Amino acid sequence: MFSNDFLLSLLSAKHIVILTGAGISAESGIATFRDAQTGLWERYDPAVLASADGYLADKSLVWGWYEWRRTQVLTAQPNAGHLAIAELAGYVARVTLITQNVDDLHERAGSRSVIHLHGSLHQPRCFQCAEPYVFANEIPTIAPAGERIEPPSCKCCGGSIRPGVVWFGEMLPEAAWQSAEDAILDCDALFSIGTSSLVRPAANLPDMAIIRGAKVIQINPGPTPLDAKVHYNFTGKAGEILPALVKALADLVS
């Protein structure tokens, strides 16, 4: 599946960027957004559930929906794709991992310094004053889908706590975006894994890497707008292709 030239180019790279999307967590049982039938935005309205206006219109509906998603993540486990990405770092001089995902499965697989472009389900904050809110340690049980849950109140100002994810119409966290751009300016190769490459500005990162002369590699079972632009396109599941890649690298260096 992998040519020696391809594997050697990874081993000799000075800096590889890995950009992941919802597809990397699909094999952990976490729904993607746009896959037909199973995608969250196929079943739920993002205008209601992923916008500040939607939150202000019905806080308990929105908070309950994110509690359903957060508790699903708490009970899920990293899959072979997450684990292989963490292992890949052992074969390459430098890896920067950028994710659009709001779960913590990369971290739980052992990846460090993950750049979260779209925030985190696990780091909510006050809607009014932005003070972070810390969840109590809890035994994970999945909140029922569709249950309305009143958001907690901010200890500082009494405002309502909102999910810590980036909603439509909002800016990406500035420091995360800056780190992502810096990594792109410095990388020799970029992996785009499990993302539909439809949501900007994250979807601009592979284009920026291509313009800079970096090699772009995609892993995805379905078609994306990147197909026509990438240097290597591996069609299939991240949880199958990534472990095979790590094994091929291990075989080559042994």
Q: How far apart are CA 239 and CA 195, in angstroms?
A: 14
Residue 170 C-beta: closest distance to ligand OAD, Å: 8
Whose Cβ is closer to ligand OAD: residue 66's or residue 133's?
66
Instruction: Write the binding mask 188 to 227 for ligand OAD: x where contact by CB under 6 A, - elsewhere.
Output: ------xxx-xx-------------------xxxx-x---
Active-site residue among 15, 118, 122, 231? 118
Whose Cβ is closer to ligand OAD: residue 43's or residue 155's?
43
118 part of the active site: yes
Q: How far apart are CA 111 and CA 85, in angstroms?
A: 7
**Contacts (CB under 6 A) with ligand OAD, residues 11-70:** 21-23, 26-27, 32-35, 39
Cβ distance 64 to 89 under 8 Å? no
Instruction: Give me the helix-helix angle, 238-253 and 80-88, nearest 10°.
Output: 30
Whose Cβ is closer to ligand OAD: residue 33's or residue 252's?
33
For ligand OAD, how many residues bind (rule: CB under 6 A)? 28
Binding part of the chain for ligand OAD, among 105-113, 150-158, 208-216, 236-244 by CB under 6 A, reads 236-244
Cβ distance 117 to 164 under 8 Å? no
DSSP string, 60-87: HHHHHHHHHHHHHHHH----HHHHHHHH
Whose Cβ is closer to ligand OAD: residue 12's or residue 235's?
235
Using CB atoms, what's the residue nearest to ligand OAD? 23
Determine how β-strand 95-99 pairs with β-strand 115-116. Answer: parallel
Residue 119 C-beta: closest distance to ligand OAD, Å: 7
| 151-167 burial: b if 16+ Cβ within 10 Å, else e | beebeeeebbbbbbbbb
Q: What is the dihedral of CA 140, 141, 142, 147, to 10 degrees?
A: -120
Which residues lie near ligand OAD (CB under 6 A)?
21-23, 26-27, 32-35, 39, 100, 102, 118, 165-166, 194-196, 198-199, 219-222, 224, 237-239
Active-site residues, by number, are 118
